[in-house]
Structure 1
Amino acid sequence: MSDQDGSSLNKIEQLDKEHVFGTWSYQSEVQPTQIIDSDGVRFTDADGQEFIDFSGQLMCSNLGHSAEHVTEAISDQADETPYVAPNFTTEARARLGEKLAEVTPGNLSKTFFSTSGTEAVEAAIKIAKFYTGKDKIISRYRSYHGATYGSISVTGDPRRLAAEPGIPGAIKAPDPYAYGSTMDPMESLDYIDEMLMLEGDTVAAILVEPIVGSNGILVPPEEYLPRLKEIAHDHGALLICDEVMAGFGRTGEWFGSDVFGVQPDIMTMAKGLTGAYQPLGATIVTPEIAEHFEDNMLTHGHTYAGHPIACAAGLATIETYQEQNLIERASDIGDYLTDQLDDLATAHPSIGDTRGVGLFQGIELSKRSDERVPFGEREDKLAKGGTVVDEVAQTAYEEGAYVANMINTLIIAPPLTITEAEIDEAIDALDYALEVSDAAMED
């Protein structure tokens, strides 16, 4: 019998399949796997098989699965005050706001707390529109900013299509994607500059991931983001940087913006903010933007804005990054990871490109070694069935390494605590798995 009928699932997995929606999926294809334990950079399924978490789950488990300071902070806050309405405060919320002003670029200083990355982006969109009095947001085609209505509207990822027409004023621009685009990365900036000119004085902000995450780990040229900020400001628009995936040490810097020496006007974050120990999003702005709302109402809010337990987790997470020197460590061990991926690329002709920064890396596959012919296309995100890239990821999983994949790219984003020996173990699994794509190449 087919696995799709649930015959291979245990009781818990069957209950989950029957009663819980799987995300971004045809429900007939959902096959949940029960996880019963996790420790360090590893997790264990109900059959007792252990896996190296080589993608940090959804690129969010920056601290791995054994961050004791964070779990203790969660427990202590739950004992002290598990919840208060947003018009009250707690020491955890106030201290976390102060800490974010400390670690974010430049003079970003005041934060709105939500519960997820998509909500952080929703807040950023609204704040930009309220502050500028303008209606349009320019984002890029190879991007993901969230699943709620505003965030999916500014997302370029093809998963947005089912939600369209979306919110008014969402405009897409080309990407800095040297390997898979017809346009040079810096030429794409000229295009955006012209877009702003042709739109007139109607654009509130340009919204970008400094390093694109789930749409391919796209690292722009060093001068790209500084020039993009200049272009935005030349036209009276803000720069919003979505740091939900690249933030909190993954790049070997606190944030992806720091890699390029840029302070955005608004920054969004989630995932690594708590290392995924609690759901927490944040939107931080400059003092100038914050000042605007002293006498103009911020018409935005959530029941769980600044949830005490989530904020306690966030504060403890940042303290862990600092106390264990994990940001610098991610840079150093990221160099080791880069070397190992380069060796893989030499050994496997189906690797068309490797790219990334620190512990935020991608392997893009190709059917041909002399030109880019992807195994996975954008439309595959909306199709039933799997691709060769899915098969490679599944084979690596069977060999003990969990590797997320999106469209045509394997995403390598392990916890910042990973060791060289653990990297070697996961690379061995990938080395074996890539034989699948090598064998599927065109002659």
Structure 2
Amino acid sequence: MSEQEPAPTDGLNEVEATDREHVFGTWSFQSEVRPTEVTHAEGVRFTDADGEEFVDFSSQLMCSNLGHSAEKVEDAIAEQVADAAYVSPGYTTEARAKLGEKLAAVTPGDLSKTFFSTSGTEAVEAAIKIARFYTGKQKILSRYRSYHGATYGSISVTGDPRRLASEPGIPGTIKAPDPYAYGSTLDPMESVEYIDEMLELEGDTVAAILVEPIVGSNGILVPPEEYLPRLKEIAHDHGALLVVDEVMSGFGRTGEWFGADVFGVEPDIMTMAKGLTGAYQPLGATIVTDEIAAHFDDKMLCHGHTYSGHPAAVAAGLAAVETYEEQNLIERASEVGEYLGDRIDDLADRHPSVGEARGVGLFRGIELTSDPDERVPFGERADKVSKGTTVVDEVAAAAYDRGTYVANMINTLIVAPPLTITEDEIDEAIDALDAALDVSDDAMDR
């Protein structure tokens, strides 16, 4: 047993205190971890151990796309576990075969063959290895304002400050500027031409360009319409693949099946997780084109997992995709997303501390500022790996006190509710945010 003094547990119930003592909090200074016990979730709401109910305005960690009452997914998991809880990846199940077929149908272009894993970070790991195996090259180019996962390969291609503690990472990773008009010295289309120059200077050594079509946890950054098509053109001009990370932007979040669909781009490799099962089971997927798939017919795919294609997970995935289709949730997310965007624009008009509101569909970001003319942020990148709270944290806490949970990263509130949310529920959450933004308005004078 450790001889350390136990962390203070004042205000925590027994479950929360036990969790704090025996379970690591993620991405946290452990002295600051204060877990909240969730006892129930239904629809777009969840309830804590004190009986307080909250609108889930960020789909937990931007993953509960179906909300918390997807009965078809629940039933599929139970039925699969009753039939066969686990089989080795060398076997298959009806759900795994059908989900592979279904993903080939709903993804853009000729993406056709999938490797299943258990998370987004593992999906990115597979994409890195497949790109290197296929091209025979080693380098992966990604961007500074990005998050691709926590395992060594995916954290190495991640741009945000959480990668720094793990460096040096895997060799062969290089970072490029972002299409971030609000906070960069480069115009978004200047940044993509800079990437062209980078690949020219790197010579014929880059296997892939890896990007989030719409950047998620680093700010909900939506590039210009012509950005992603130009990026694919640049990649192919230099003999590199375009890999799109759809872990957060996939499965209706943007009002389209995938973020790449917003820009009409067909990638060479796509990674998925989160909305793939609506978070009802941990499942990641890496899908590749026919041409890349054929490469491995006579060359070994040196990659695998014990839980690749786990029966309960793929059953959940199949049921989730069928639910998106049967309930017309992709189109609905586009329609309701327009309403959400209008309501957020109203907030921006009323609150001077809202520097920029951006996003598409049900994938929105509210960037805060202490000086809109100079675009001075309340939160800096360094805050993501520092102790203490920021004004942006305080705004999120004020919304939470008013019954609305909204995630925040660095300087942006991330509004990404379940695709099932109604306009009335949006209004309820927006009212909470309206009151909470008074905190940042007042802080502009600090």
TM-score (norm 2): 0.98
Q: Distance in 2 between matches of 1:343 and 1:119?
A: 39
The answer for the alignment partner of 2:345 in structure 1 is: 342
Letter in 1 for 2:73: V
The answer for the alignment partner of 1:214 in structure 2 is: 217
* Cα displacement (A) at 1:362: 0.3
Listed as ranges, the matches of 1:115-264 within 5 Å are 115-264=118-267
1:190-237: CA deviation from partner (whole Å, max 9, x where unpaired): 110000000000000000000000000000000000000000000000
Listed as ranges, the matches of 1:255-294 within 5 Å are 255-294=258-297
Letter in 2 for 1:255: F
* Cα displacement (A) at 1:410: 0.1
Q: Distance in 1 between matches of 2:341 and 2:224?
A: 18
Which of 109, 113, 129 aligns to 2:116? It is 113
* Cα displacement (A) at 1:22: 0.2
The answer for the alignment partner of 2:69 in structure 1 is: 66
The answer for the alignment partner of 1:7 in structure 2 is: 10
Which of 366, 369, 378 aligns to 2:369? It is 366
Q: Distance in 2 between matches of 1:232 and 1:86?
A: 33
* Cα displacement (A) at 1:169: 0.4
Letter in 1 for 2:340: L
Letter in 2 for 1:171: I
Q: Distance in 2 between matches of 1:412 and 1:155?
A: 22
* Cα displacement (A) at 1:432: 0.6
8 A Cα contact 1:118 1:146, kept in partner? yes
Letter in 1 for 2:91: F
Q: Does 1:379 align with 2:382?
A: yes
* Cα displacement (A) at 1:371: 2.3
**Percent same amino acid at aligned positions?**
79
* Cα displacement (A) at 1:353: 0.2
The answer for the alignment partner of 2:445 in structure 1 is: 442
* Cα displacement (A) at 1:368: 1.0
The answer for the alignment partner of 1:396 in structure 2 is: 399
1:86-144: CA deviation from partner (whole Å, max 9, x where unpaired): 00000010000000000000110000000000000000000000000000000000000
The answer for the alignment partner of 1:33 in structure 2 is: 36
SS in structure 1 of the partner of residue 376 of structure 2 = coil
Q: Distance in 1 between matches of 2:292 and 2:8?
A: 53
Which of 36, 42, 46 aligns to 2:45? It is 42
Letter in 2 for 1:182: T
* Cα displacement (A) at 1:339: 0.5
The answer for the alignment partner of 1:414 in structure 2 is: 417
Listed as ranges, the matches of 1:72-87 within 5 Å are 72-87=75-90
Which of 323, 327, 331 aligns to 1:328? It is 331
Q: Distance in 2 between matches of 1:132 and 1:102?
A: 26
SS in structure 2 of the partner of residue 247 of structure 1 = coil
8 A Cα contact 1:62 1:415, kept in partner? yes
Which of 293, 309, 317 aligns to 1:306? It is 309
Q: Distance in 1 between matches of 2:48 and 2:387?
A: 25
The answer for the alignment partner of 2:3 in structure 1 is: none
Letter in 2 for 1:424: D
Q: How many residues align?
A: 441
SS in structure 1 of the partner of residue 325 of structure 2 = helix
Q: Distance in 2 between matches of 1:391 and 1:319?
A: 39
1:351-390: CA deviation from partner (whole Å, max 9, x where unpaired): 0000000000000000013220000000001100000000
Q: Distance in 2 between matches of 1:92 and 1:30?
A: 38
Q: Does 1:353 align with 2:376?
A: no
Q: Distance in 2 between matches of 1:103 and 1:430?
A: 35
SS in structure 1 of the partner of residue 434 of structure 2 = helix
Q: Does 1:429 align with 2:432?
A: yes
- Segments of structure 1 that go 5 or more residues without pairing to the other structure are none
Q: Distance in 2 between matches of 1:405 and 1:425?
A: 19
